[in-house]
Amino acid sequence: MPRFLWRRLLTTILTLLAASLLVFVVLNFLPGSPAQVILGTQATRAAVRELTVKLGLNQPLWMQYLHWIGGLLTLHLGRSYISGQPIAPEIGSALSVTAPLVLLGLLVGVAVAMPTGVVSALRHRRASGTILAAATQLGIAIPNFVLGILLIIVAAVYLRLLPASGFTPWTTSVVGALQSLALPAISLGLVEGAILSRYVRTAVLGVLSADYLRTARAEGMRRHQALLRHGMRNAALPVITVLGLELSGLVIGAVVIEAVFTLPGAGSLLLSSVANRDLIVVQDLVMLVAAVVIVTNLLVDIMYRVVDPRIGLGS
Amino acid sequence: MIGGRPWKRSPVRGVTAVAAVGLLLAACSSGGSPGKAQPLKTLTIGSSNVFPPTLDPTANASQAIDEVIDYNVLQHLVQLAPNGTIVPILASSWKVSSNNQVFTFTIRKRVRFSNGDILTPADVVFSLRRVFAPSSTYPYAKVFDVASVATVATDQVQVTLASPSWEWLYDLAAYSNGVILDPRTISSMATDPVGTGPFKVAGEVTNYSVSLTRNGRYWGYLPQVAGVTFRYFTNPNDLNAALQSGQVQMIDNLSTPQDLGLFKSNSAYRVTAGLTNGKVQLTLNNAYGPLQNKVVRQAIAYATDKAAIIKAASGGYGIPAGSDTVPADPYYLNLSGTYPYDVAKAKALMRQAGYGSGFPLALTLPPYFYAQLAAPLIVSELGAIGIRVTVSTIDFPLWISQVFEGGAFQATIIDHAEGRDIGNYGTPGYYWHYAQTAQVAAELRAANAAPTEAGWIAGYRQVLRQITADAVNDWLYIIPNLTVARKDVVGLPSTAYTESLDLAYVGLGGSIPAAARSLGFSS
């Protein structure tokens, strides 16, 4: 394996470790003791003390950290402070909503961005191209939750095409689950697609004025032929970078969209765990999101090499 | 030890309750459904509560757990009916010793848990001992003061209190600490609490819903639904839309009373404003500078217009509180006339206390609607007598650690939702730092040792008068429990004196037994 990969892998691991330390420290500074939140305002002091000990929250912080991180390394996410249940199935069930939502959102985004970006670049001197570019500007300006509420009103309340909120579990009905995810994925994907479309447009425009494309045209290739053969790879580089960033945007956007559509996903789990001071669940979830983002970055770097072998990073 | 006075607290009511339950038992032996059998439907309830953090009410104080599990899945020896009476449930009868210290319960026969296990007196002893065990983490400081619990006959359990109490039986009935558990199922309580109630847990989807199905082994009247699903909504608008679009058939506890207009004028829905134990109060830190002065606290009580606050924060529903008591309390006193809205009087008191030019006051709010809606009025009303209020809002865990535990606050608005919680005024170090705590504690103890109910009531009323005269807090109003249900939902409790939403008689269409109506379930 090339040295570049080893170095990137090492950086990734160090970043993850730093992230875990940050998450742990910040969350443990969050005021409000889990034991007190669990037992409320009417419990005896003895009961609160007893629970603090039971949860292991009377141990020194460094020991709690080591215990947690040791668990993560051996794939033991621990047990929720609040329900006493293993966390892994809880996160798994939340991810069965959020992961498809994010992927569908990405799909919608790419499906929107690629054609609109390329077409608005090819026609950038014509009215149709300008209108398309203006439309994507509008898409960027609309926050995804506003779009979500608009979609609920139009598609669910007036047209009654799709459910307004809620989630049908995959085990009950795959079609039902997809139906529950359709509107949220569209509201998530359209906005991200609009942003992505701008980058695609800029990248294609840059390629169109490149020397090698002019040479290809001079050799007798038609414009779209030249673009497909020589242009796409070059235009893809900035788009892949943005796509990597967009993915983390989608994960964060999903937190908001899940609230709008009352979906029982990772976003809802994160919010309720913060409210309940179920710190260990919050730690696990934030680490998961951090890991997804960091690993995505790693994949993007590897993709660079695949798309453009000239990038010799580190050798 | 046992006196010859069964049903001591209220003999007449007690006996009627037994008769009523007897009638219900007779009525239910055929399943309780008249006419030809139709497939039962599932009732879906939209709740404004947070999703229950666990389904074990003995491990967490969240009201969302009691709403679903208490009374419906897990039952008590005695329970509080919606009309406020204590009724026999897993105890078929009970006796109280003349000094109010020894309670002997006869355990109901032929009761099974939903998993088929037979309820035994040993299960009752196990459950009650679990409350006050040294390692207990039960969420309420109630039902704790027990010296011993033991089986005294094949079907009897005897509880001896550490000291006499007129409150203990009520606490056992009203607080979820009183649930009777199957000792063989303790390890699965968080996800599948097994009880003797009319429903059993069918499943849950985290942060989304909890489903109950009818317990076919139930010993009493079988509710006329196949099951009940609670769905959780963080946004009131989503909840209202779900009722309007038919995704849910009722809303338990509408948190935004201003939305009532959507349903009040629509004949398809029924709006119920049930009485609760919730006292919304402007809590004053009696240890903070100007608030140490009783006269200043009285000025604040005169300066706040309770009627206007009820209108703004509670859509006009709710009644003025006046003190730490609600009409359901046996010792209730309507003291809401003590400090009528009178700005001139309030200003005069401020001058008398030496604060003619006012003082700054920080109002720290929890994120709840009632507090947010009442705050602007409080700010302007206190501003009128020179108190310059600055408002900040913090999340509830922070409120608990900073305001409630730390006592680091000047004033806050909070709903004290627990029933008969006057004992807080005798709790040393309680967050409002009342100066006469020790004296109140002694008075409450003396009242509980009174040989007659009248003596106990008189003692408690004396405490009420005292804390009201001292204007310890500014009691604003008694918060209503607003439910909105489709017309065909029957058998709902007409009040919310407990945190449970008691669904023992719920049905979709049809009618409910007359005995249930007399206990306060709506027809």
Helix (H, G, I), strand (E, B) or coil at A42: coil
Please report, rounded to a whole number, the percentage of residues in chain B having pLDDT higher than 90: 74
Average pLDDT score, chain B: 89
Q: Residue written as tokens 């040393």?
A: B428
- Tell me the chain B residues in contact with residue A146 when contact means C-beta distances shorter than 8 Å: none
Distance of residue A38 Cα from the nearest chain B Cα, in angstroms: 5
Strands B227-232 and B250-252: unpaired
Residue B15 has pLDDT above 90, yes or no: no
Helix (H, G, I), strand (E, B) or coil at B447: helix
Q: pLDDT: is B475 or B264 the higher one?
A: B475
Distances in whole angstroms, Cα of residue A43 to Cα of each of A39, B142, B412, B498: 6, 8, 20, 17
Distances in whole angstroms, Cα of residue B70 to Cα of each of B89, B169, B286, B335, B510: 13, 17, 36, 32, 25
CA gap B200, B196 in Å, rounded: 8
Could you give the domains of chain B? 279-478 (3.10.105.10)
Reported confidence tier of residue B320, pLDDT bands at 50, 70, 90: very high
CA gap B67, A8 in Å, rounded: 52
- Tell me the chain A residues in contact with residue B397 when contact means C-beta distances shorter than 8 Å: 30-32, 36-37, 275-277
Residue B8 confidence (pLDDT): 30
- Tell me the chain B residues in contact with residue A84 when contact means C-beta distances shorter than 8 Å: 54, 56, 59, 190
B233–A277 C-beta distance less than 8 A: no
Cα A155–chain centre separation: 25
Distance of residue A44 Cα from the nearest chain B Cα, in angstroms: 5
B432 at interface of A, judged by CB pairs closer than 8 A = no
Residue B155 confidence (pLDDT): 95
Chain B neighbours among A 5-24 (CB < 8 Å)? none
CB B156 within 8 A of CB B121: yes
B208 at interface of A, judged by CB pairs closer than 8 A = yes
Residue B329 has pLDDT above 90, yes or no: yes
Residue B254 has pLDDT above 80, yes or no: yes
- DSSP letters, B13-34, are HHHHHHHHHHHHHHHHTT-S--
- Tell me the chain A residues in contact with residue B396 when contact means C-beta distances shorter than 8 Å: 37, 275
pTM comes to 0.81
How many beta carbons lie within 10 A of that of residue A128, not counting itself?
12
Cα B423–chain centre separation: 15
Residue B7 has pLDDT above 50, yes or no: no
Residue B355 confidence (pLDDT): 96
Residue A312 confidence (pLDDT): 58
CA gap B278, B415 in Å, rounded: 6
Residues of chain A with pLDDT under 50: 314-315
Could you give the domains of chain A? 87-307 (1.10.3720.10)
* Phi, psi at A90, each rounded to 5°: -65, -45
- Tell me the chain A residues in contact with residue B398 when contact means C-beta distances shorter than 8 Å: 31-32
* Phi, psi at A253, each rounded to 5°: -60, -30
B60 at interface of A, judged by CB pairs closer than 8 A = yes
A47–B138 C-beta distance less than 8 A: yes
Distance of residue A223 Cα from the nearest chain B Cα, in angstroms: 51
Complex ipTM value:
0.71
Comparing CA positions, the residue from B322, B325, B326 lying closest to residue B335 is: B322
Q: pLDDT: is A166 or B338 the higher one?
A: B338
Residue B395 confidence (pLDDT): 86
Sign of torsion, CA A262 A263 A266 A272? positive
Mean pLDDT to the nearest integer, B270-287:
94
Q: What angle do CA A233, A289, A172 make, to 5 degrees?
A: 95
B141–A44 C-beta distance less than 8 A: yes
Strands B387-393 and B474-478: unpaired
Q: Most A CBs within 10 Å: which of B58, B137, B204, B240, as the mutation test of the A interface?
A: B137
**Residue pLDDT, tens place only, B41-94:** 999 999 988 889 899 999 998 899 999 999 999 999 999 999 999 999 999 999
CA gap B30, B23 in Å, rounded: 13
B245–A164 C-beta distance less than 8 A: yes
CA gap A249, B89 in Å, rounded: 55
Out of A275-289, B362-376, B445-459, B502-516, least confident range: A275-289
**Residue pLDDT, tens place only, B108-154:** 999 999 999 999 999 999 999 999 998 888 988 877 789 999 999 99
CA gap A46, B137 in Å, rounded: 8
What is the maximal distance between C-alpha atoms in chain A?
86
Residue B19 confidence (pLDDT): 39
**Residue pLDDT, tens place only, B195-244:** 999 999 999 988 889 999 999 999 999 999 999 999 998 888 888 888 98
CA gap A243, A196 in Å, rounded: 7
B247 at interface of A, judged by CB pairs closer than 8 A = yes
A171 at interface of B, judged by CB pairs closer than 8 A = no
CB B75 within 8 A of CB B193: no
Helix (H, G, I), strand (E, B) or coil at B486: strand
Q: pLDDT: is A308 or B425 the higher one?
A: B425
Residue B21 has pLDDT above 70, yes or no: no
Residue B14 confidence (pLDDT): 35
B234–A259 C-beta distance less than 8 A: yes
B238 at interface of A, judged by CB pairs closer than 8 A = yes
CA gap B137, A203 in Å, rounded: 62
B327 at interface of A, judged by CB pairs closer than 8 A = no
Helix (H, G, I), strand (E, B) or coil at A38: helix
Q: Which helix (H) or strand (E) holds B507?
A: strand B507-508
- DSSP letters, B250-289, are EEES-S-GGGGHHHHT-TTEEEEEE-BS-EEEEEE-TTSG
Residue B37 confidence (pLDDT): 58
Q: Which among B56, B141, B402 is the nearest to A43, CB-wise?
A: B141
Helix (H, G, I), strand (E, B) or coil at B127: helix
How many beta carbons lie within 10 A of that of residue A295, not counting itself?
12
Residue B1 has pLDDT above 70, yes or no: no
